[in-house]
């Protein structure tokens, strides 16, 4: 019995070891196959993305050519500033914007002409409808640009006090302003990508040799937010008079919060005036019908039927 038990144990261990080795070989092959499939899928998606990017770049080049033809290669300074503030920093953005407007104008004219020309009506009305069909799409990019400008400006104004607070905390702990600026840009990215991108671009200008205050002025010009201009002016005074940067940032953040609360109170007070028009047009007639309606019906019934 004692001579049989070691042989059984050896056989069992050998069996399990062979099974384990075979299973490991099968698992490794399966993993390699999965890795190859993933790589093939990534290559396919990469090829598709590259094709889409080439098509997109071709479309952008076409729109840029159309815009250059329409504007003779000279975009207005105000348009360029608005596009930069809206987040479109590409050099050919004004030409692409003009090309989109011209393309929408032509598409609107052609589409309206297809529906209007076959109808029987006066030529003047047809021309009017065709002109309206081309003019309305022509101004759609203007509306989108204004919405984008307001959205970015409001987002920066909303999150700028928090960024200034983080700057103040970093500076108070002994970190330099440039390093603190980098840290705040990394942290604020999870909250506001617009403000973080503007801060990263400002940091890039500083690394290229631009003065910090001048780079912040460029940031204020790119975003169109007056609070950044005020922050740059405060930092100029701080460096000139040698005052504490931390206390200056703390005071500036508190003033921004007070200004935001004052604007919220002002909007709340204006709301009562703005509600007068819908109340007069919609709510007051309904209340008048409910209150005076039965009396008017009774009076009319008495006057008509006499009882």
- Could you tell me which of 33, 34, 101, 26 has the C-alpha nearest to residue 70? 101
Q: Does residue 89 share a domain with residue 190?
A: no
Q: Which three-class secondary structure state does DSSP give residue 119?
A: coil
Q: Which three-class secondary structure state does DSSP give residue 3?
A: coil
Q: Does residue 114 share a domain with residue 10?
A: yes
Q: Does residue 291 share a domain with residue 265?
A: no
Q: Does residue 290 share a domain with residue 254?
A: no
Tokens of 171: 């500076």
Residue 147, domain member (yes or no): no
Q: pLDDT tens, 182-229?
A: 888 888 888 888 888 888 888 888 888 888 778 888 888 888 888 888
Tokens of 55: 């098509």
Tokens of 303: 């006057």
What CA–CA distance (Å, rounded) separates 152 from 162?
16
Q: Does residue 217 share a domain with residue 123?
A: no
Q: Does residue 2 share a domain with residue 126?
A: yes
CA–chain centroid gap for 187, Å, is 18
Domain of residue 288 covers 277-305
* Full-model pTM: 0.64
For the chain, the average pLDDT equals: 78
Q: How confident is the model at residue 118 (pLDDT cuts 50, 70, 90)?
A: confident
Q: Does residue 254 share a domain with residue 198?
A: yes
Q: pLDDT tens, 13-45?
A: 566 666 667 666 666 666 555 555 544 444 433
For the chain, the helix, strand and coil percentages under 3-state DSSP, each to the nearest 5? 85, 0, 15
Q: Does residue 266 share a domain with residue 174?
A: yes
Number of domains in the chain: 3
Q: Does residue 110 share a domain with residue 174?
A: no
| pLDDT at residue number 42 | 45
Q: pLDDT tens, 134-158?
A: 888 889 989 999 999 888 888 888 8
Q: Which CATH number covers residue 259?
A: 1.20.81
Q: Does residue 204 share a domain with residue 292?
A: no
| pLDDT at residue number 147 | 92
Contact by Cβ (8 Å): 97, 86: no
DSSP state, residue 102: H
Tokens of 126: 């047809």
């Amino acid at each position: 019995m004692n001579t049989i038990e070691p042989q059984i144990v050896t056989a069992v261990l050998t069996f399990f070891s062979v099974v384990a080795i075979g299973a490991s070989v099968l698992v490794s092959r399966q993993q390699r196959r999965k890795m190859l499939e993933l790589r093939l899928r990534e290559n396919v998606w990469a090829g598709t993305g590259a094709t889409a990017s080439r098509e997109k770049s071709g479309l952008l080049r076409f729109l840029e050519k159309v815009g250059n033809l329409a504007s003779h290669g000279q975009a207005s300074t105000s348009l360029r500033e608005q596009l930069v503030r809206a987040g479109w920093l590409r050099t050919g953005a004004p030409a692409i914007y003009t090309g989109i407007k011209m393309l929408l104008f032509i598409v609107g004219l052609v589409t309206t002409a297809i529906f209007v020309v076959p109808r029987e009506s006066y030529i003047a009305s047809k021309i009017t409808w065709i002109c309206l069909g081309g003019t309305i799409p022509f101004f759609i990019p203007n509306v989108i640009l204004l919405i984008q400008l307001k959205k970015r400006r409001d987002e920066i104004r909303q999150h700028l006090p928090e960024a200034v607070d983080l700057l103040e905390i970093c500076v108070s702990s002994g970190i330099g302003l440039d390093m603190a600026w980098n840290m705040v840009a990394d942290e604020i990215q999870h909250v506001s990508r617009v403000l973080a991108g503007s801060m990263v671009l400002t940091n890039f200008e500083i690394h290229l040799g631009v003065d910090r205050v001048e780079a912040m002025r460029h940031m204020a010009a790119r975003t169109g937010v007056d609070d950044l201009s005020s922050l740059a002016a405060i930092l100029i005074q701080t460096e000139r008079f040698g005052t504490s940067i931390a206390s200056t940032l703390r005071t500036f953040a508190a003033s921004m919060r007070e200004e935001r609360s004052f604007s919220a109170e002002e909007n709340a007070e204006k709301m009562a005036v703005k509600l007068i028009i819908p109340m007069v047009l919609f709510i007051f007639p309904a209340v008048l019908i409910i209150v005076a309606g039965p009396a008017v019906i009774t009076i009319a019934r008495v006057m008509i039927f006499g009882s």
